[in-house]
Structure 1
Amino acid sequence: MQRLRDPEHGCPWDLEQSFDSIVPHTLEEAYEVADAIAERDFPQLAGELGDLLFQVVYYAQLGQEAGHFVWADVVDGITRKLVRRHPHVFPDGKLRTPAGSIKIEPEQVKQRWEAIKAEERAEKAERPHQLSLLDDVPRALPALSRAQKLQKRASQAGFDWNEAAPVIDKIAEELDEVREAVASGDANAVAEEMGDLMFAMVNLARHLQVDAETALRQGNEKFERRFRFIEQRLADDGESVQEAGLERLDQLWERAKTQGL
């Protein structure tokens, strides 16, 4: 990385990059890691993890050049965090300590993890720039994931329903508001109400202990399987999707469903 960023002998493209310009590549590489895992393509996963690691190295080099931090700070930071969040593994808070004898259940591990993260957020809240419990929820997250994290953070502060039933009622309310916005012909209102509806849907997923991002990803994959089935059946009959008509497409869609696609 240092060679790539060498001002005299480095790569012209790499020399032009900054923290901001690398962010889209980082997000893309993270999604490619997720895709390789979903496809169980483990030989490919090794390469994708390398690409993702390269992004971390890139940021570390940029940080060193700007005098913000160095690679060692990155590794030290995550090491200290993991030691702190696993007192049942590192009972004296030191990395090199012999393994402890504390035995706890997975649910207790989760509870401790959340409690320690809450302590860390409380410490951050004492800093002048930290004004809200929501401040450290990354804006660059996919919208569904960010909605779920925002709701979870608010829930930890007591701002939440205790069960799923009122969330379902809220979804019905938001859907009515979408209908009203559509009837009004106000495009801005439609967009706003659609956002509210989707936010409420994420809230229901959270209450049902469903990861919204994963659920939609699976829904996308299901749609893709069924649509590809339609395309293939039409191609076998010498037809195209554009020529088939909605009734024929619906028939093939139902056929795909009956075949478990």
Structure 2
Amino acid sequence: MGKISIVGLGPGDYSLISQGALETLNSGSRIYLRTEKHPTLEKLKETIEYTSLDYFYDNEDDFESVYNKISEFIIEASKESDIVYAVPGHPRVAEKTVTIIENIAKLENIDVESIPSMSFVDAMFNYLKIDPANGFKLLDAFEIENSYIDTNTSMIITQIYDQFIASNVKLKLLEYYDYDQEVCIVNGAGVKNLESKKYVKLYELDRSENLFNYLTSLYIPKSSKKMYNTVHDLEMIMDTLRGPSGCDWDKKQTHESLKKYIIEEAYELCQAIDNDDLDEMIEELGDVLLQVIFHCQIGQEQGSFDLKEVTNSICNKLIHRHPHVFKNVELDMNKFERTWEELKKEEKGETTVTEGLRRIPKNLPALTKSEKVQHKAALVGFDWDDISHVFKKIEEEYQELLDECKAGNIKYIKEELGDLLFSVVNLSRFLSIDPEESLNSTINKFINRFEFIEQSAIQLHKNLEDMTLEEMDELWEKAKLK
């Protein structure tokens, strides 16, 4: 079993390779380069022999596969003898293969030594004449899609090889910065005669006249304009509102006092969706999100829970309820709803269907609650086989209501009316029609027709109160033709 010596080749200028790195390269061990696309190789070729691993880039479909394959190759090569693995810059700065190699080597008891040289980050700050002590974040262009963008600190983005990558980076950054945010395209930092920098507006980043190659990085200074575009921003605002110098109304709110607002906001969002108004949807979704953050802030102050616990809870729930997605479990998607209910029972520690029925929120609108109760019962087979039975049940309940009305028994009238409504909800379920939406549609239709009657009465210089039912009914029939 050999030893792996990982050498940093510096940012590109031969003078910036450390003495230790040069000595290791000349130690006589076999040398492998992650890539020979590096300016120092022009001079190093005179004194060393090496094997380039650039061919992995041609054989794999993505960079993750490239890095894994190179790392596995280096591990296997070290089992024969001591080897040197050389990478651009500093081995511990934006060098994925080093991390992978060290993790595997630890499991297989392979000795690994890292010999650093100056990183391209040091060279960039030196070239741009900027002190990194004020803080910065280093990102890989190929991982920016899943990265947290913090506009409150400066940032360096590496591996902007071409215009296509620059375009992807620009689109991501425009989600967080103003379109005219100043950025700096840096090429060949730390390489004499190759260094160049160009300050452009963010929207100009991917223009054809800009130069991109394997030595290109992007520097973005701290934004001068605060952008409110993360949940963390909302958390900070809520913390201020509830703080000593905050708003008296916000400070006195409790979980109990806020209950009505989450219901109101949810209904306002539904209305925005019905109106197909995207701007209104954005606003109302923000209001719903505010309620979530509000409750999390109260929970954090009380030491009971915070947003992290809420997020962790819903993430674990989604993963658990989608085993076919996250755990490669084969599911019959035709029975997915039943599987979903079984997983919910497992989470809640329930052993009976009735426990699930009782768990349905009591404050739900009665039509919605009725549909949910019937649906859960139907999942275990308690349901009519044919819609004709549903119609018969409605007729039966209607007749029973008529009988009780004739008898004048108020107690049973209320009960039978409930039975009739419950049966009608069952019909809506069989017809795949949301009973709430259906009834709301009828309510709106009624209002529109009643408006026609009222406006017609005004044109006739009549008061509704003075009109006969026959006159209003005649106008109602006309309204139905509209």
Measured against aligned partners, the alpha-carbon deviations of 1:240-259 in whole angstroms (never above 9, x if no partner) come to: 32222211111111111112
Q: Does 1:228 align with 2:451?
A: yes
Aligned partner of 1:53 in structure 2 is: 289
1:148, 1:203 within 8 Å by CA — same for their partners in 2? yes
Unaligned 5+ runs, structure 1? 94-101
Structure 2 residue aligned with 1:161, among 379, 384, 396?
Answer: 384
Task: Report the CA distance shift for 1:126/1:205 in structure 2 as closer, same or farther (over 3 A).
Answer: closer
Aligned partner of 2:477 in structure 1 is: 254
Q: Specify the SS of the correspondent of 2:294.
A: helix
Structure 2 residue aligned with 1:115, among 307, 330, 339?
Answer: 339
Q: Partners of 1:44 and 1:154 in 2: how far apart?
A: 37
Q: Partners of 1:86 and 1:110 in 2: how far apart?
A: 14
Structure 1 residue aligned with 2:463, among 227, 240, 255?
Answer: 240
Aligned partner of 1:62 in structure 2 is: 298
1:147, 1:199 within 8 Å by CA — same for their partners in 2? yes
Task: Report the CA distance shift for 1:255/1:15 in structure 2 as closer, same or farther (over 3 A).
Answer: same
Q: Specify the SS of the correspondent of 2:476.
A: helix
Q: Partners of 2:350 and 2:395 in 1: how far apart?
A: 40
1:126 CA displacement: 4.3
Identify, as 1 or 2, the structure richer in helix. Answer: 1
State how 1:188-227 maps to structure 2 within 5 Å. Answer: 188-227=411-450
Measured against aligned partners, the alpha-carbon deviations of 1:205-261 in whole angstroms (never above 9, x if no partner) come to: 1111111111111111111111112222222222232222211111111111112xx
Measured against aligned partners, the alpha-carbon deviations of 1:21-66 in whole angstroms (never above 9, x if no partner) come to: 2111111111111112112232222212211111111221222233
1:124, 1:130 within 8 Å by CA — same for their partners in 2? no
Q: Partners of 2:349 and 2:354 in 1: how far apart?
A: 6
Q: Does 1:32 align with 2:268?
A: yes
1:125 CA displacement: 3.2
Structure 1 residue aligned with 2:362, among 122, 133, 139?
Answer: 139
Task: Report the CA distance shift for 1:126/1:250 in structure 2 as closer, same or farther (over 3 A).
Answer: closer
TM-score scaled by length of structure 2: 0.47
Task: Report the CA distance shift for 1:193/1:251 in structure 2 as closer, same or farther (over 3 A).
Answer: same
Structure 1 residue aligned with 2:348, among 119, 124, 146?
Answer: 124
1:89 CA displacement: 4.7
State how 1:85-100 maps to structure 2 within 5 Å. Answer: 85-87=321-323, 89-90=325-326
Structure ranking higher on relative contact order (CA contacts 8 Å, 6+ apart):
2
Aligned partner of 1:43 in structure 2 is: 279
2:321, 2:343 within 8 Å by CA — same for their partners in 1? no
One-letter amino acid of the counterpart of residue 280, structure 2: Q
Task: Report the CA distance shift for 1:226/1:110 in structure 2 as closer, same or farther (over 3 A).
Answer: farther
Q: Does 1:5 align with 2:242?
A: yes
1:91 CA displacement: 5.2
**What is the RMSD computed on CA atoms of the aligned residues?**
2.6
Aligned partner of 2:309 in structure 1 is: 73
1:168 CA displacement: 1.3
1:119 CA displacement: 1.8
Task: Report the CA distance shift for 1:225/1:139 in structure 2 as closer, same or farther (over 3 A).
Answer: same
Measured against aligned partners, the alpha-carbon deviations of 1:48-101 in whole angstroms (never above 9, x if no partner) come to: 2211111111221222233332111222222233334445554569xxxxxxxx
Moved more, 62-71 or 153-162: 62-71
Q: Specify the SS of the correspondent of 1:10.
A: coil
Q: Does 1:18 align with 2:254?
A: yes
One-letter amino acid of the counterpart of residue 263, structure 2: L
Aligned residues: 245
Task: Report the CA distance shift for 1:208/1:61 in structure 2 as closer, same or farther (over 3 A).
Answer: same
Task: Report the CA distance shift for 1:150/1:126 in structure 2 as closer, same or farther (over 3 A).
Answer: closer
Higher-Rg structure is 2
Q: Partners of 2:461 and 2:338 in 1: how far apart?
A: 58
Q: Partners of 2:359 and 2:263 in 1: how far apart?
A: 18
Q: Partners of 1:246 and 1:12 in 2: how far apart?
A: 54
Q: Partners of 1:10 and 1:48 in 2: how far apart?
A: 23
Q: Specify the SS of the correspondent of 1:133.
A: helix
Q: Partners of 1:40 and 1:177 in 2: how far apart?
A: 42
Task: Report the CA distance shift for 1:12/1:131 in structure 2 as closer, same or farther (over 3 A).
Answer: farther
Q: Partners of 2:443 and 2:361 in 1: how far apart?
A: 24
